Amino acid sequence: MLQNDLLIRTLQKKPVERTPVWLMRQAGRYLPEYRQVREQAGHFMALCQDAEKACEVTLQPIDRFGLDAAILFSDILTIPDAMGLGLKFVGGEGPVFERPIRCAADVEKLVVPDPEDSLAYVMNAVRLIRQELHGRVPLIGFSGSPWTLASYMVEGSGSKTFSIVRRMRYQDPVLMHKLLKILSASVTEYLKAQISAGAQVVMIFDTWASLLSPQDYLEFSLPYMAETVRELKRFNAEVPVVLFSKNSGKCLKEIAESGCAGIGLDWTTSLQEARCQVGEKVALQGNIDPAVLYGTADVINSEVERVLGEFGQGSGHVFNLGHGIYPDIDPENVKVLVNAVKNLSPKYHNK
């Protein structure tokens, strides 16, 4: 039994007494207690693969700030890592694959990973976190989207232009779709396993949707996420699915038709305009600029009030950042933001 089910009820568009709040990357480098555990682990993937340490850092922001949800501590690139592409995290460069996908023969070698085999460490973490939460708040599981995973896998690393994956999209769209189909099946099985292990909400992060034009987003990204949403609803209709696609404000109506329970918004999309577009069909999550957390307490409170007012009265708003917390943010400012949401939001739910 959940002691705090605000997030679940909000995603179900049920009445709530206040707006729930959690933050993308709420467990991470801005917390000194996280940095201590990371140092003990030795490197990032070792931390992800140690269920006890992953559990510890997942719970740190819950204990410190009283957030309304925990999100599994992991990485969006676990699936391609399990496919044998040789993932490494290089200082100053970020994720790098030793064996990127560059041709049809590379795609042919890919198989959908067994979540309870090569990704068992993720499921072990989910089970332990659920156990250690003791029902305080729901646990969010997640995956990268097929398009975002493909972007890293083809490019081989992060990039300013992602020119290699974009070249594949234009020179060999058939191969691109073949890769995305394999990744869609992989994401679906991965999230099913997380749900079976105890995730109560799942989220798909499509960070590199920002590379795509609206028409390409509707061809190369959204259909593959929508297929996963359909399969997850067949698997367990009680678990809400949230889609976050960066810079997707022009496709909100189409995203809302995917069957998802919620749409994550970055700070470039107005909550008010988004609500006008999707109506009461789905909940909205977001969307304060993460840089607001550099401000004073007065500035943070003012921006929280603005965002709450932009969504307006009624349920269906999950307060969050428009992207992840920056690593040099003062944790005290996170506390100010969370408390502001808790203190300022009840008036939007009492009519």
- Average pLDDT (266-285) is 95
Assess whether pLDDT exceeds 80 at residue 92: no
Question: What is the predicted pLDDT for the residue at 272?
Answer: 95
Range list of β-strands (E), the chain: 70-71, 87-90, 94-97, 139-144, 201-206, 241-245, 262-264, 283-288, 317-321
Choose the catalytic residue: 18, 25, 136, 169. Answer: 25
Assess whether pLDDT exceeds 90 at residue 328: yes
Question: What is the predicted pLDDT for the residue at 232?
Answer: 98
pLDDT in tens, 6-18: 999 999 999 999 9
List, as one string, the DSSP characters of 155-186.
Answer: HSB--SS-HHHHHHHHH-HHHHHHHHHHHHHH
Cα–Cα distance measured from residue 30 to residue 27, given in angstroms and rounded to the nearest whole number: 8
Is the distance from CB of 242 to CB of 213 less than 8 angstroms?
no
How many angstroms from the chain centroid is the CA of residue 68?
Answer: 15
- Average pLDDT (136-154) is 98
Question: What is the predicted pLDDT for the residue at 324?
Answer: 96
pLDDT in tens, 289-317: 999 999 999 999 999 999 999 999 999 99
Choose the catalytic residue: 34, 152, 217, 348. Answer: 152
Cα–Cα distance measured from residue 327 to residue 333, given in angstroms and rounded to the nearest whole number: 13
Known binding residue 323? Answer is: yes
Question: What is the predicted pLDDT for the residue at 80?
Answer: 97
Known binding residue 75? Answer is: yes
Known binding residue 136? Answer is: no
Question: What is the predicted pLDDT for the residue at 90?
Answer: 78
Known binding residue 26? Answer is: yes
- For residue 94, name the pLDDT band (cuts at 50, 70, 90): confident
Share of the chain above pLDDT 70, in %: 99
Known binding residue 41? Answer is: no
Known binding residue 230? Answer is: no
Catalytic annotation present for 25: yes
pLDDT in tens, 247-257: 999 999 999 99
pLDDT in tens, 47-81: 999 999 999 999 999 999 999 999 999 999 999 99
Question: What is the predicted pLDDT for the residue at 273?
Answer: 95
Choose the catalytic residue: 9, 35, 75, 289. Answer: 75
Share of the chain above pLDDT 90, in %: 96
Nearest CA to 263 out of 284, 289, 241 is that of 284
Known binding residue 285? Answer is: no
Known binding residue 207? Answer is: yes
Known binding residue 277? Answer is: no
- For residue 183, name the pLDDT band (cuts at 50, 70, 90): very high
* Two tokens, residue 259: 């069957």
Question: What is the predicted pLDDT for the residue at 137?
Answer: 98
Assess whether pLDDT exceeds 90 at residue 351: no
Where does 72-252 sit in CATH, by number? 3.20.20.210
| Residue 217 buriedness (CB in 10 A; 0-12 / 13-18 / 19+) | buried
- For residue 89, name the pLDDT band (cuts at 50, 70, 90): confident
Catalytic annotation present for 152: yes
Choose the catalytic residue: 38, 130, 166, 169. Answer: 38
- For residue 91, name the pLDDT band (cuts at 50, 70, 90): confident
Catalytic annotation present for 99: no
- Average pLDDT (20-41) is 97
Residues of the chain with CATH 3.20.20.210: 72-252
* Two tokens, residue 195: 């749900």
List, as one string, the DSSP characters of 247-277.
Answer: T-GGGHHHHHTTT-SEEE--TTS-HHHHHHH
